[in-house]
Structure 1
Amino acid sequence: MIILAFFLAHWFLSLFFQTFFLHRYASHKMFKMNGFWEKVFYFCTFIFQGSSFLNPRAYAIMHRMHHAYSDTEKDPHSPHFIKDVWGLMMKTKNIYLDYRKYKLEPEPQFIDRYPTWSFIDRFGDLWITRIFFVAFYIGFYVVFANHWYLWLLLPFHFIMGPLHGAIVNWCGHKYGYSNHDNDDHSKNSLPLDFLMMGELFQNNHHKKPNDVNFAQKWFEFDPSYPIIKVMHKLRIIRLRKV
């Protein structure tokens, strides 16, 4: 089924570049890459997140705050001070826009060492750009959606990036099991985290924030890790020694 394949491709490609480029690279610098590959992955993040493209600088600042102030009132996206998932998304959006628009300066420890590309940052944030992606998604469904219920998937394409973030931050700090006492509410929500490409091993990640493999127990599997290892072997990236 073409629509289902399109939805799954958008889901996992958007999610992969969020965890690989925005999270593990821009926020944590778990590996190095040269300028050419940084631009390639920057562009891929823009294309596959599409209408919900997240600026790497703003993302990195907020994620570093999340680790520094995990599950406290200064955490920009802790679920423990918000009534529901929608409220969490709105709070995160407002803080994100403050950093994206340079209305708010981050604390010194959260500044620098994140990738920037002024053209993509400006172009990806334009309403006309986001509307173009929305129109593309709608057009694809007009051509290929041959059952009414397939249209129920369409709105998820519009907000794919923030949706992934909301799932990770809400579920990863409320539901699941803990391997470590991190003095916060971080949890591992899925023992086999293929649905979120390893992102729901939050408890493991908060214990070892610079470890590129988010899985730690024998029954845990981080689907992004083997891909990253292959990139390392191909010398596309160079993993840091933890």
Structure 2
Amino acid sequence: MILVVLFLLHWYFSLFCQSFFLHRYAAHQMFEMNKFWEKFFYFFTWICQGSSYLSPRAYAILHRMHHAYSDTPKDPHSPHHTENLFTMMWKTKKIYNDHFSFRIKPEKRFSKDVPDWNKFDLFADSMTVRVAWGLLYVLIYVLSISVFELAGTHWWMYFLLPIHFMMGPVHGAIVNWSGHKYGYANFDNNDKSKNSLFLDFLMLGELFQNNHHKLPKRPNFAVKWYEFDPTYPIVRLLHASGIIKLKTA
């Protein structure tokens, strides 16, 4: 049972950081926060994503490109211009690495005002740090299953480890593939974005892609009465606490 809880905590905390900090803050600047909180969420994102940490700067650039070129050949991660899920994510990885390492200079509209803490990114992205996170996950599983034989643990749970290692890309693959292939559309966005309502409980609002592409600055990704964006109440709570400041339209 302890490993199931660990897996769910890793899944949802990592996903929250991607949705709240990387997506809504870094890419879309839906709200403001001071430098202390920005650095706090950099660190918190690293803790939660662990071995699959994503740079807010590189993520924001790619995501802005995705909106500008949605489902066209220039989209960095459209399922409609790649052979399958894996080729889509490999293409995304290559473009991400080019921007992370500054090998490509993005257009100003894609890089303007993105958060950038390059020294921290270089530390968090280092192979030594990523491998250390991976070894920590393995150690926890070995101790739980094979050494202490904790109640509710089973050998098949070792198969969860690859998801721990690649948690950020796993989330990205689900959102970018499902959110542009399966579901329904509330709006005609001149792309193939969809709302995958029945999967969204797994993705904290990120699969309301059709709504989001129509209203990219709207912090609540749900539009219809039957839709619910689980991240939005947390955004409202952080706004009420003064940690962030939502922008007015």
Per the normalisation by structure 2, the TM-score is: 0.95
Letter in 2 for 1:74: K
> Secondary structure of 2:197's match?
coil
Report whether the alignment pairs 1:16 with 2:23. no
> Secondary structure of 2:223's match?
coil
1:1-242 to 2 correspondences below 5 Å: 1-145=1-145, 146-190=153-197, 193-242=200-249
TM-superposed CA distance for 1:108, in Å, is 2.1
TM-superposed CA distance for 1:17, in Å, is 0.3
TM-superposed CA distance for 1:118, in Å, is 2.4
Letter in 2 for 1:30: M
> In terms of mean alpha carbon deviation, does 12-21 or 188-197 score higher?
188-197
Q: Which runs of 4+ in 1 moved over 6 A?
A: none
> Secondary structure of 1:204's match?
helix
* Separation in structure 2 between the aligned mates of residue 110 and residue 76 of structure 1, nearest angstrom: 13
> Secondary structure of 2:19's match?
helix
> Secondary structure of 1:182's match?
coil
TM-superposed CA distance for 1:128, in Å, is 0.2
* Separation in structure 2 between the aligned mates of residue 192 and residue 141 of structure 1, nearest angstrom: 28
Q: Is the 8 A contact 1:46 1:120 kept in 2?
A: no
Letter in 1 for 2:170: L
The Cα RMSD (Å) is 0.9
Q: Is the 8 A contact 2:45 2:53 kept in 1?
A: yes
TM-superposed CA distance for 1:154, in Å, is 0.9
Letter in 2 for 1:241: T
Identity %: 59
In structure 1, the gaps of 5 or more residues are: none
Letter in 1 for 2:156: Y
* Separation in structure 2 between the aligned mates of residue 26 and residue 7 of structure 1, nearest angstrom: 26
> Secondary structure of 1:193's match?
helix
TM-superposed CA distance for 1:120, in Å, is 1.4
Q: Is the 8 A contact 1:172 1:188 kept in 2?
A: yes
TM-superposed CA distance for 1:20, in Å, is 0.3
How many residues were matched structurally? 242
TM-superposed CA distance for 1:191, in Å, is 5.1
* Separation in structure 1 between the aligned mates of residue 166 and residue 120 of structure 2, nearest angstrom: 18
TM-superposed CA distance for 1:116, in Å, is 1.4
